Amino acid sequence: VARADRYSCPRPPTPDARTVAALAQQFTSDTFPTAEDVHRAGRFMLATELAAEPFLRHRCRLAFRRHATVSTLPTAKGRAEIDFFHPLHGLQYLQRKPAEDFLNPPPAAAAGAAGGGAPWWEALRAALAAPW
């Protein structure tokens, strides 16, 4: 047996649109008066069930962390206050920097965070690592 056959998941047949509409029509009630209301309720129930699956939540978090980016622009006050010696210098103009880079800080930022010099780094790391 080929490897792709062992690990691939069989797909259910695609239902005919008329069949789906006829099935939805069977479940109409006072709460769901139309077939579209039945579809909407079914999608909501499916989304709720899938959102409770730990493995799916884990994979969504991984995908978010892999593709999330950070872009920043300073305010007028930030442009005035952040100079070459400010701890946030270099972070005021970020353009689509991968958020993963913030999970493993450079040694200087990690040392500053440990000494209380860069609490923003630890706050960002905690936000990205949160299991929400």
> Domain extents for the chain?
32-67, 68-129
Higher pLDDT, 21 or 57: 57
Question: Which pLDDT value is given to residue 2?
Answer: 53
User: Which pair of structure tokens corresponds to residue 48?
Assistant: 């709720």
pLDDT tops 90 at residue 105: no
pLDDT tops 90 at residue 3: no
Backbone angles phi, psi at 112, to 5 degrees: -65, -40
Beta strands per DSSP E along 1-131? 69-72, 94-98
Mean pLDDT of 72-96: 87
- Dihedral-angle region of residue 8 (phi above 0 means left; psi in -120 to 50 means alpha; beta otherwise): beta
Question: Which pLDDT value is given to residue 85?
Answer: 86
